[in-house]
Amino acid sequence: MRRSNKLAALFTAGILSLAATSCGSDDSGGTASDDASGGSGASSDIKVGMAYDVGGRGDQSFNDSAAAGLDQAIEEFGMTSDEAEAEDGEAESAREERLRTFAEAGYDPVIAVGFAYAPALTKVSAEYPDVHFAIIDDSSIEAENVAGLVFAEEQGSFLVGAAAALKSESGQIGFVGGVETPLIQKFEAGYAAGAEAVNPDIQIDSTYLTQVPDFSGFGDPAKGKTAAQGMFDGGADIVYHAAGGSGGGVFEAASEAGALAIGVDSDQFETADPSVQDVIMTSMLKNVDVAVLEYLTEVDGGTFPSGTTTYDLAVDGVGYSTSGGQVDDIADQLDEFKQQIIDGEITVPTTP
């Protein structure tokens, strides 16, 4: 009796540890193996090393957007590339080692996708001064061989916030953030500012799915659904999500409640399941692909950019999508806000 209990406990532990070590990297099977070489005849001897954040290629979100930029560069310039992705719960040294392995193997440039690479890149960029690096979502590294590619997420969020306020009939809208980090707070701050610019009395419900270091809020549709359901039940009629893979749940909840939702990062009207397509009013575009492609275009031209490049409304680094046609009737008002932001007449806050 006692022994069988103990044995059961041992197995539980085995399974738990399996789960603990393997979660967060579900659908990455073999992604790194397909190094696309030579797209359309163009050829180049530039080897790009791509270090993704947790989730990697295929996450339908942030990493995928970066991958799209890379794919396009490969297509256009005939570069070659190899990819690696971060794992949930890995040591800081694993991130460093990923960048180092690329640098050692002759990859130049090496692109780090995600702010989590900042401490690792600070160290590794100093060790390999001849290799060029780029990092997305971080501008804290000051080194000759590092380019920081950052986005004005708050500006794009401002526009979809304004759209939500213009479209809302109940005067109550919602925001679902994946993980409460300064980055996602920028989305929330811009969204709220945009909504209030249209309707100062609007009620905005905000929630975050998880807290650091639990990053599961970016990949848990069930959590996203529960959070959005609560908002719809409470009277909100439009919910904006900045929650990566959890957004699918937000769309489902909107569909069930007969309400609307706003997507994030890419034009989710195009990528979402057809059954929830009609609830996606618009999406806040964060064009990571554009940033990656522009960076690689410069590299192809022979110059390695360094310093910080901010992708904002002025350069169409962020924006909103119009597929589905649900915001066509308010496009004039949104474009007016857009112009005011570009002209500096409106300054969008970055913290809620």
Partner 1 sequence: MNTVTPTRATRTDPRLVTLVLRLGAPALALVAAFAITSLVLVLAGDPVGEVWSTILSVPETRNLANIINNATVLYLSGVAVAIGFRMNLFNIGVDGQYRTAAFVAAVVAGEAWLPGFLNTLLALMAAMAVGAAWAGIAGVLRATRGVSEVISTIMLNFISISVVAYLLRKAAVAEPGSNSLNTKEVPEGSRIPNLSIGDGPSTEVYGFVVIAALVGLAYWFMLNRTRFGFDLRATGQSSTAAIASGISVKKMTISAMLISGAVAGLVGMPILFGSSFTYGSTFQPGLGFAGIAIALLGRNHPIGIALGALLFAFLDEQSNPLQILVGVSPDIVNITQGVIVLTVVVSYELVRRYGVRLEQHAVARALAAEPAGRRDTSEKEVSA
**Binding residues vs partner 1 (CB under 8 A):** 2, 6-7, 9-11, 13-14, 16-18, 20-22, 25, 28-35, 49, 82-85, 87-94, 96-98, 100-102, 105, 115-116, 118-119, 123, 127, 137-141, 148, 150, 180-183, 210-214, 308
Question: How far apart, in whole angstroms, are the C-alpha atoms of residue 59 and residue 291?
Answer: 18
Question: Shortest distance, CB of residue 337 to partner 1, whole angstroms?
Answer: 25
Question: DSSP states of 288-316 as a string?
Answer: HHHHHHHHHHHHHTT----EEEEE-GGGT
Judged by CB, which is closer to partner 1: 24, or 248? 24
Chain center to CA of 129? 28
- Its sign, for the CA torsion 95, 67, 34, 22, is positive
Judged by CB, which is closer to partner 1: 52, or 251? 52
Judged by CB, which is closer to partner 1: 27, or 233? 27
Question: Shortest distance, CB of residue 76 to partner 1, whole angstroms?
Answer: 23
Question: Shortest distance, CB of residue 91 to partner 1, whole angstroms?
Answer: 5
Q: At what angle do helices 331-342 and 182-198 cross, to 10 degrees?
A: 120
Judged by CB, which is closer to partner 1: 100, or 338? 100
Question: Shortest distance, CB of residue 183 to partner 1, whole angstroms?
Answer: 4
Question: Shortest distance, CB of residue 276 to partner 1, whole angstroms?
Answer: 29
Judged by CB, which is closer to partner 1: 216, or 333? 216
Judged by CB, which is closer to partner 1: 25, or 340? 25
Here the tokens at position 340 are 């005011």
Question: How far apart, in whole angstroms, are the C-alpha atoms of residue 112 and residue 293?
Answer: 14
Question: Shortest distance, CB of residue 131 to partner 1, whole angstroms?
Answer: 13
Alpha carbons within 13 A on the beta-carbon side of 8: 5
- Least Cα distance to 47 among 62, 57, 58, 36 occurs for 36
